[in-house]
Amino acid sequence: MNDMPKIIIGLVIFLMLIGFPLWYNVANDKAGYVPDMELPDTADQCVRDTEWMRTNHMDLLNDWRDLVVRDQQRFEANQVSQQMEMSLSNTCMDCHDNKSTFCDRCHNYMGVQPYCWDCHLEPEEAI
């Protein structure tokens, strides 16, 4: 038990190192950081409520994909339109026309890499 102090010092150093990203951000007052996404100014309403979209858009896109590709249902009625095409490139990106300041900002923050864009095309961005 003579090594107890050394072990405790070692543990503290270990915890400090492993917790570096956390306490460094707290110390720099970045703990409350949320990505700043640019919302479209051309539309004031999304196909679902914003809160719901924030957590469920990936499920919605998956459902849309299955409905369109496999179930032959290309349109849906929602709070924006009675006949809206269920399409990422043609519906979502019509309003959210800037992938890098909308999709990418949050995806990068969350560390997710969706592969939608391997095939689906994003609108050309005005630089």
Partner 1 sequence: MGFDRRKFLKLSGLTFLGFAAGSPARVFGQQDTTMVDSTATGDGTITPISGSRWAMLVDLRACNEKGGEDCDDCIAACHRVHNVPEFDDSHDEIKWIWKTSFHSAFHSQEHEFLDEAITHGNTMVLCNHCDRPPCVRVCPTQATWKRESDGIVMMDMHRCIGCRYCVVACPYGARSFNFRDPRPHIEEINPKFPTRMRGVVEKCNFCAERLATGKMPACVKACKHGALKFGDLEDPQSEVRKILGDGFSIRRRPELGTQPQVYYLV
Q: Which residues bind partner 1 (CB under 8 A)?
A: 63, 65, 67, 69-70, 72-78, 81-83, 85-86, 89-90, 115, 118-121, 123-124
Region of residue 83 (left: phi > 0; alpha: psi -120 to 50; beta: else): beta
CA-only gyration radius of the chain, Å: 22
Residue 5 CA to residue 99 CA, distance in Å, equals 53
Which of 87, 101 has the CB closer to partner 1? 87
Which of 2, 50 has the CB closer to partner 1? 50
Which of 6, 70 has the CB closer to partner 1? 70
Of the candidates 29, 53, 31, 47, the one whose C-alpha atom is nearest the C-alpha of residue 106 is 53
Smallest gap from Cβ 114 to partner 1, in A, equals: 12
